[in-house]
Structure 1
Amino acid sequence: MISTYFPFLWPTILFHLFLILAPSSSLDNLNGHTKHRREVIVAHHGVVATDDGRCSKIGMDVLRAGGHAVDASVAAALCLGVVSPASSGLGGGAFMLIRLASGKAQAFDMRETAPMKAYKNMYASNASLKTSGILSVAVPGELAGLHKAWEQHGKLPWERLVKPAEVLARRGFKISPYLHMQMEKAKSGILADNGLQSIFTSNGELLQLGDICRNKKLAKSLKAISKYGLKAFYNGSIGFQLVKDVQKAGGILTIKDLQRYAVKVRDPISANIRGLKVMGMPPPSSGGATMILMLNILAQYGVPSDVSGPLGIHRQIEALKHSFAVRINLGDPEFVNVSKVLSDMLSHNFAQTLKKAIYDNMTFDAGHYGGRWNQIHDHGTSHVSIIDHDRNAVSMTNTVNAYFGAKVLSPSTGIILNNEMDDFSIPSNGDKNTPPPAPANFIRPGKRPLSSMAPTIVLKDEKLKAVIGASGGAMIIAGTAEVFLNHFFRGMDPFSSVMAPRVYHQLIPNTVYYENWTTVIGDHFEIPTEIRTSLQKKGHVLESLAGGTICQFVVQELESGKLVGISDPRKGGFPAGF
């Protein structure tokens, strides 16, 4: 039983916590095997873990054919853009963290940028235009980043990597339970856009679970991209058609915006935490730095006893609130100087100072944590974690932001457009209960908005130990950190680390969101009553959440070289490996 893995932990609560998670499944010791759970795989050569098993398999086939982890990430990401189009795609952006077997590490920033005609007060007359619709569209960056990473590290032909996604779009794919849920939640937006209607409806009604969905215009675009590469999208027929569609609908995107788009290859940030090297994305991603600050605070407690049980969850929430207060000072380093803030967030001394402001018997309002600015709440995403035969690793999070992005599909190209402009702050006076927006994240032409995406790679003695990351908007930081804490601080096996129910906090609103939901495949996740009661006694305001983050976790056992891959069942995905 799972309990054999952590006899030293808060046994009663934790035992019941995990029993409640898998009433229909039998969980064995994870030397290998979790019965009846296809979300777990044990392999020796390579593992691809994504939000959709079809894309995991496509990535694994690339590895089997001799491909690099980057090759597999390209094929898997393009697949996700087809079968999980509410969460990512060619019309969006991504952050990719690479750690090569040689020890070299890179952070590929393919985040969307504000169009050149964008300006700080462009939404002053109508803030809702920032949230959805054609004026919420930023310049897509995903394809440029995938291609650049492939140019540097790929082993297989580009056309080989694009082909599976093109075939899926042309022949059609079955609508998954999670995609169907997203379609239902975005129904009004789908029905309001002719492009989305043409793909996701039939006779005026949404396609149903298991129906075949085809996007032949997207297939045509992918075919051109497979043949002509980046040029087709950023300075060719696809780009010109895309811009024409956007401008016809009243948008400000131009072909010069596409031509000027540049991928930024940065150095990853990293910190040594209790004998582990934790690597993450630098700004404009806030995920890596916020997670490292949170972990540095919690690393000062005794592990595992002092970060487990109800008190451990309280400390985790308090560390998260402190970290979110600092996070909002970050922004695009090309436009604002974030070096001091980033240095603080990676500093053990700074973390020690914040720990002193955590009280075990109570929580506080947002002002206690020193947050000067209001938070930005970004939205949905997709994540890929990959380790290949040579132990090259990729952790990549992709996004179009909200479900189906701007709720606009380019009818000429079949590409769903992002609403990434919504991740910028906009000037406002706020009120006595809400801090003002953060100037570091105000709109400027060519600027990248702040993001919560947190692709992470973990090393032990400079050897690859784990690849981790999550989808789920602003909750990504908490979700990724919790899985890390569960495995590396609390001693849980990889599957249990992902299956444990999660809590989230974003400082503003001053609310603990806790999982209480049954997923699309029937698993029920719920924080136990004992923990909720303990948190309420300390002053936390709790609200149940029928949703949360979706984590992809791959762990290498250093002694044997065995890989254990977990795809979070919350989205219905599963990993693939060999």
Structure 2
Amino acid sequence: MILRISVTTLLPTLILSLGYISAENVKKWHAIVIIILLALEASARREEIISNHGVVATDMAKCSRIGRDVLREGGHAVDAAVAAALCLGVVSPASSGIGGGAFMLLRLANGDAQAFDMRETAPAFSSMNMYGGNATLKASGALSIAVPGEVAGLHEAWKQHGKLPWKRLVMPAEHLARRGFRISPYLFMQMNRTKAGILADEGLRSMLTSNGELLQLGDTCYNKRLADTLGVISRHGPKALYNGSVGKNLVRDIRKFGGVLTMKDLQKYKVRVTKPISAEIMGLTILGMPPPSAGGAGIILMLNILAQYGSPSGVSGPLGIHRLIESLKHVAAVRMNLGDPEFVNVSEVLSDMLSPKFAAELRKTIFDNMTFDPSYYGGKWNQILDHGTSHLCVVDKDRNAVSMTSTVNSYFGALYQSPSTGILLNNEMDDFSIPVNNSNNVPPPAPANFINPSKRPLSSMAPTIVLKNGQLKAVVGASGGAMIIAATTEVLLNHFAKGMDPLSSILSPRSYHQLIPNVLQYENWTTVTGDHFEVPAETRIALQNKGHVLEGLAGGTISQFVVHTLEDSEAVEGVVFGKLTAVSDPRKGGLPAGY
């Protein structure tokens, strides 16, 4: 169920919630005006567009337009992804940025495909026992910072495929940081949820507060230090960060903060460029990210399980959700055997996760009338619950396609912004497992994901590209930490198995399960843009009757989706040029752009 709340519905509630409003109370008046304007804008916004040439779908309309302009100038899909990702790092700093990392999946029009792994790595002075079993030390603060990889990865992809100058692609983000951008509703929510951490950090305070208080919705935010940094990177490329003045200043700030990252860590950082994993399911070819992403293999395993039920009837209604949740619990159990393939041999578990035969065996353990405790699904290890991210999708005029998920992990990462560079640092060390003394009721941590210098932590990020008969069919992905696998699978099933149109596939309320705790979480919330998402009551009752413990979730995942129409489209030299339908998830207020 999806409802959109109108201005006339919102206004009385807003006034009641704010209490008596006097002329002197400028901030509250300001907030009301901004929210009304946003609600009016929401009633006319276009979360779905159809274009013939190229499209960009991101969390923020401004960043989608920046990417679109790059395409219009003749840029490659990679060019647009670089410009849009850098933009997101400025205007949505709680979710991504150059102090973090990313996975980029690229499928070229000629059929070649690459996976760019720009995931953060553990510093040289890190170790398996560096936290002494204290998980709070790896969750935020100086020791939670891993070596950032986004700038190196974006530049490597551009170096191989870019058509426009690097400086041209960095410039829009630099200008936004210098000239300022307005606090969006979603960023405002993230700021309020992280208020104590923002107020405790000098760099975040300088950017996100005024007179000791958080900036308000619609206020203009500046990060002129970051603008200076982006300017240097635009002129000198990634060496400015990984072996230059920006890096030296960044390391000095982190060391003062108590971190262990060094210039050698930055100098040693390498982008991994590999082949995507792939599988043939439901007449489609699914391209996904290889480990240390568990997302690509997780989606393929879920789809292989669910394909056995037939579509659309086998995956529809409450029973379809039950089957999806049961398959998701199996994925959660198996994925914790994965890790960084340069440190752990994951070939056997990866082979299982991609195998239809393995999926068929798991399918036999799923019963349509009941669910089970976590131990039933065979998981040996405790879960790592990674956090927030940002996702973008790009298709250019030649039908090159990019699916990219970027992250700083938790809201505002390590809750530390380097004062001299303006770079907000990730807390990606929190995605590693660490040895702890668990109770008898909790599985032990996963050894495959233990910390090692230069190792990359396990991730749920799942950029995905779909082909049909060798032609580009769709680009999809999601943000939302450990819930990404469920969200991306649900969008794919909605469109390809249930026959929903692209927008409906995104709007459909989602359900999640992370195995531990043994709770089925379902969407039940009103978003910052006024949409209400809620799994229907009759569906919830049916799931409870099968033994699921349900819990409403005020949040979840944010997905972007591009569908390429192959039917009745023109083919030129073997490449089909159909219409492109791009959707940005209204849950975060994003809008796509195209031409």
Q: Distance in 2 between matches of 1:23 and 1:84?
A: 24
Q: Give CA-to-partner distance per residue, 1:454-473, whole Å, 9 cap, x none.
A: 00000000100000000111
| 8 Å CA contact retained: 1:105, 1:268 | yes
Match of residue 331 from structure 1: 339
Match of residue 154 from structure 2: 146
Q: Distance in 2 between matches of 1:541 and 1:112?
A: 36
Q: Distance in 2 between matches of 1:432 and 1:300?
A: 36
Q: Is it true that 1:573 corresponds to 2:590 in the alignment?
A: yes
Q: Give CA-to-partner distance per residue, 1:247-293, whole Å, 9 cap, x none.
A: 01111000000000000001100100010000000000000000110
| 8 Å CA contact retained: 2:99, 2:408 | yes
**Secondary structure, aligned partner of 1:525:** strand
1:36 shift after superposition: 4.1
User: For 1:380-395, what aligned pairs fall within 5 Å after superposition?
Assistant: 380-395=388-403
Q: Give CA-to-partner distance per residue, 1:82-119, whole Å, 9 cap, x none.
A: 00000000100000000000100000000000000000
| 8 Å CA contact retained: 1:62, 1:71 | yes
1:306 shift after superposition: 1.2
Match of residue 166 from structure 2: 158
Question: TM-score, with normalisation over the residues of structure 1?
Answer: 0.94
Q: Distance in 2 between matches of 1:245 and 1:103?
A: 44
Judge which range, 59-68 or 37-46, deviates more: 37-46
Q: Is it true that 1:65 corresponds to 2:73 in the alignment?
A: yes
Among 481, 487, 503, the residue aligned to 1:479: 487
1:533 maps to a residue whose letter is I
1:35 shift after superposition: 9.2
2:315 maps to a residue whose letter is V
Match of residue 40 from structure 1: 48
Aligned structure 1 segments of 4 or more residues deviating by more than 2 angstroms: 20-25, 34-37
Match of residue 269 from structure 1: 277
Match of residue 180 from structure 2: 172
1:78 shift after superposition: 0.3
Q: Give CA-to-partner distance per residue, 1:406-446, whole Å, 9 cap, x none.
A: 00000000000000000000012322211000000000000
1:140 maps to a residue whose letter is P
Q: Distance in 2 between matches of 1:96 and 1:199?
A: 29
| 8 Å CA contact retained: 1:21, 1:499 | no
| 8 Å CA contact retained: 2:4, 2:530 | no
Among 495, 500, 515, the residue aligned to 2:503: 495
Among 551, 554, 576, the residue aligned to 1:546: 554
Q: Is it true that 1:440 corresponds to 2:448 in the alignment?
A: yes
User: For 1:419-430, what aligned pairs fall within 5 Å after superposition?
Assistant: 419-430=427-438
Q: Is it true that 1:306 corresponds to 2:321 in the alignment?
A: no
Percent identity, please.
Answer: 72
1:334 shift after superposition: 0.2
Among 364, 368, 373, the residue aligned to 2:381: 373
**Secondary structure, aligned partner of 2:426:** coil
| 8 Å CA contact retained: 2:133, 2:434 | no
Q: Give CA-to-partner distance per residue, 1:213-242, whole Å, 9 cap, x none.
A: 000000000000000001111000000000
**Secondary structure, aligned partner of 1:573:** coil
Among 364, 367, 390, the residue aligned to 2:372: 364
Among 201, 225, 233, the residue aligned to 1:193: 201
Q: Distance in 2 between matches of 1:452 and 1:193?
A: 28
Q: Is it true that 1:342 corresponds to 2:359 in the alignment?
A: no
Question: TM-score, with normalisation over the residues of structure 2?
Answer: 0.92
Q: Distance in 1 between matches of 2:6 and 2:304?
A: 37
Among 92, 99, 112, the residue aligned to 2:107: 99
**Secondary structure, aligned partner of 1:334:** coil
Match of residue 214 from structure 2: 206
| 8 Å CA contact retained: 2:332, 2:515 | yes
1:302 shift after superposition: 1.7
Distance 1:45 1:24, change over 3 A: farther
2:525 maps to a residue whose letter is W
Q: Distance in 2 between matches of 1:138 and 1:289?
A: 24
Q: Which runs of 5 or more residues in structure 2 are unaligned? A: 8-41, 570-577
Match of residue 579 from structure 2: 562
Q: Distance in 2 between matches of 1:328 and 1:21?
A: 37
| 8 Å CA contact retained: 2:473, 2:566 | yes
| 8 Å CA contact retained: 2:6, 2:43 | no
Q: Distance in 2 between matches of 1:35 and 1:169?
A: 29
Q: Distance in 2 between matches of 1:35 and 1:91?
A: 35
Q: Distance in 2 between matches of 1:172 and 1:53?
A: 16
| 8 Å CA contact retained: 1:21, 1:500 | no
Match of residue 30 from structure 1: none
**Secondary structure, aligned partner of 1:397:** strand
Match of residue 5 from structure 1: none
Among 120, 124, 130, the residue aligned to 1:112: 120
Q: Distance in 2 between matches of 1:295 and 1:36?
A: 35
1:264 maps to a residue whose letter is R
Q: Is it true that 1:250 corresponds to 2:267 in the alignment?
A: no
Q: Distance in 1 between matches of 2:157 and 2:135?
A: 36
Provide the aligned length of Structure 1 versus Structure 2: 552
1:24 shift after superposition: 6.0
Q: Give CA-to-partner distance per residue, 1:498-526, whole Å, 9 cap, x none.
A: 00000001111111010000000000000
Match of residue 7 from structure 1: none
Among 87, 95, 98, the residue aligned to 1:87: 95
Q: Distance in 1 between matches of 2:340 and 2:588?
A: 31
| 8 Å CA contact retained: 1:88, 1:398 | yes
Q: CA RMSD in A?
A: 1.2
1:324 shift after superposition: 1.1
Q: Distance in 2 between matches of 1:491 and 1:505?
A: 24
Q: Distance in 2 between matches of 1:317 and 1:367?
A: 15
Match of residue 28 from structure 1: none
